[in-house]
Amino acid sequence: MFSAILIEKSGTPPEVSATTVSEDALPEGDVTVDIAYSTLNYKDALAITGKSPVVRSFPMVPGIDLAGVVAESSHPDWSAGDKVVLNGWGVGETHWGGLAQRARVRGDWLIAQPAAFTARQAMAIGTAGYTASLCVEALAGHGLLPADGEILVTGATGGVGSVAIALLAAAGYTVAAATGKPAEAGYLKDLGASTVIDRAELAERGKPLQKERWAGVVDAAGSHTLVNASAQVRYGGAVAACGLAQGMDLPGTVAPFILRGVTLYGIDSVMAPTPRRIRAWERLARDLDPAALDTIATEVPLSEAIAAASRFIDGTVRGRLVVDVNR
């Protein structure tokens, strides 16, 4: 038996409990992992609260992230004792996830835990931080240099935004952070933001083309925020879009893309191929100061994960929530 968060039935609210589960109930997979830490992401909060139909089958253990040690393996790449990390691949949605003490998964979904990080630190990064790294990789791959101008980060106090700011600042970029939480300006500047702007400047319908301000953008909001940010990107710049905190709609025009040569990169973290994942984690290991993770992350025990998910939906969570599944 092992402890887990279990979603047993859809509904509003769904039937969710912190309970114990028999190991015989674990789904199929060629690697069994003893989990040390997991996380709470926005998607996990949606699953636990039932605010969006994230879970595709029941019962389900949520948790799109996990870090731990291989207990058993029939996969050629992994042996008992290996330290591993998993992000995405549908765990917590179609396959039992990381908000538990044990998981059974496909070995192809795992990567080695970077030596630069402990399991807790890897989960302080989690899918949010790994997604932020994918975004920074896209902007750097586009050829944007620190001398090209400011990079705007929206949803700045969230997990993606927080890590994106830290990564960009470490790489020498000047960062502008957009947030609806002015009281968190000190937190954002501690991470490396040079300026902080009110997200309200971007949240309403704007002109198709606006004053050129940003060399690039990391956007976790979507909707009008993404449209306005794109309309303010300088000629030849780029936008890495990875979220929908404001909405899934894109109520804009093609003007920035065909008149200013702006490139829009869609960033998917769930099904990204392994080589891309490894590059993103290598950037995190190289550029992210582990000390910054103490600022970004707050730890909660598994027993408090359900209540914490509601705070996530309410918008009162700053940075990352790490879950110690063994308490």
Higher pLDDT, 319 or 101: 101
User: How far is Cα 201 from Cα 4, in angstroms, rounded to an integer?
Assistant: 42
Asked if pLDDT for residue 180 goes beyond 90, the answer is yes
CATH 3.40.50.720 boundaries in the chain: 127-266
> Could you tell me which of 267, 326, 280 has the C-alpha nearest to residue 122?
280
User: How far is Cα 60 from Cα 4, in angstroms, rounded to an integer?
Assistant: 10
CATH topology of domain 2-113+291-324: Quinone Oxidoreductase; Chain A, domain 1 (3.90.180)
- pLDDT tens figures, 52-84: 888 988 999 999 999 999 999 999 999 999 999
Longest dimension (CA), the chain: 60
Instruction: From residue 255, give the alpha-carbon distance in Å to each of 193, 209, 211, 216, 236.
Output: 29, 7, 13, 16, 13
- Judge contact between 17 and 307, C-beta under 8 A: no
> What local confidence, expressed as pLDDT, does residue 168 receive?
97
> What local confidence, expressed as pLDDT, does residue 10 receive?
67
Instruction: Give strand pairing partners of 34.
Output: 69, 102
CATH 3.90.180.10 boundaries in the chain: 2-113+291-324
pTM: 0.92
CATH topology of domain 127-266: Rossmann fold (3.40.50)
- pLDDT tens figures, 13-53: 789 999 999 999 999 999 999 999 999 988 999 999 988 88
Asked if pLDDT for residue 89 goes beyond 90, the answer is yes
Helix (H) or strand (E) run with residue 279 in it? helix 274-287
